[in-house]
Amino acid sequence: MPIDPAMLAKSIGTLTDLDPTRDLTATLQQAVDAAKGLFDADAAGIMLADLDGTLRWATASDQRAQTLEDNQEVFAAGPCAEAFASGRPAVMHDATLERRWGEVTLTFVEVQIRSGLSVPVSLGGGPIGTLDVYSAEPRGWDDTEMTALQAYAGIVASLLLAAAKAELSGALADQLQTALDSRVLIERAKGALMEREHLDEQEAFTHLRRAARSSGRKLSAVAAEVATGQPLPRGRSRSTPTPTEQPTNDAETPQPDAQGEC
């Protein structure tokens, strides 16, 4: 559905008078509800990153949106995860047809959502979370919609920046500060990897997450090391079998590679 620039300007205008320093939770809720209305969406939400670069649900238009955000967190997959990792808009056109998203599509179908559009919410040159809208029907999500949602994400970012400067207290304010701290550390590590190994932004983030998981360490700890010039850690070494242990068929059979991470 093409977005009329006049309608976009009018919708954004309703957010300019919001004061996140008075009530951050209510402010983000109004932003999410306004986005849902402008895009004629069936659900919408905002996710923020934790110290390990994992997206966590922050605000949702309703229970259905919260379920979608929660499950994309669990599976580390979906439009929000891709938008956060790549720093670019991510589109799911039809959850029933796009196998590349993996198991998270089952949740979309279960809550009767077929498509979604996510864009990064960025502060200080890097993403700290995502703004997401969802539709119960398959949807193309054209360029006007992507551009409009990016403009909305810019407004959300400005509201979050005002809240951060005010040093608010509360669970959501703490989540915001964690997202900001995470961004600084991970962006430094991504930059180091991009320069050292000639990777793009999404590849660098994927390498960081994969190294953290394979080594059984926190992403924040791995990022701190990489940012200072250290190499990515190697995976955990397997224990050597004792003489009495016999190899199993599973050990002899080559296993397929794990699916890539967002």
Looking at residue 210, its pLDDT comes to 80
Q: Going residue by residue through the chain, which has 262 residues, state the pLDDT in tens, using 9 for 90 and above.
A: 778 888 888 888 888 788 778 888 888 899 999 999 999 999 999 998 877 777 888 889 999 999 999 888 888 889 999 998 888 999 999 999 998 999 999 999 999 999 999 999 988 777 889 999 999 999 999 999 999 999 999 999 988 888 777 666 666 667 666 766 767 777 788 888 888 888 887 788 778 878 877 887 777 788 788 888 888 887 654 333 444 444 444 444 444 443 434 4
Radius of gyration over alpha carbons of the chain, in Å? 20
Looking at residue 175, its pLDDT comes to 66
Other C-beta atoms within 10 Å of 72: how many?
A: 29
Torsion of CA 167, 18, 15, 173, to 10 degrees: 30
Looking at residue 243, its pLDDT comes to 43
Looking at residue 251, its pLDDT comes to 40
Query: Alpha-carbon distance 79 to 115, whole Å?
Result: 9
| H or E segment and range at residue 139 | none
Length of the chain: 262
Global pTM value: 0.72
DSSP state of 137: S
Looking at residue 238, its pLDDT comes to 39
Strand 115-123 versus strand 55-60 pairing type = unpaired
Burial class (CB in 10 A: 0-12, 13-18, 19+), 191: middle
Strand 43-49 versus strand 126-135 pairing type = antiparallel
Sequence-distant (≥ 6) Cβ neighbours of residue 128 within 8 angstroms? 48, 49, 121, 122, 157, 160, 176, 179, 180, 182, 183
Looking at residue 130, its pLDDT comes to 95
Looking at residue 212, its pLDDT comes to 78
Domains and CATH numbers, the chain: 5-168 (3.30.450.40), 173-227 (1.10.10.10)
- Name the residue type at position 142: D
Looking at residue 166, its pLDDT comes to 66
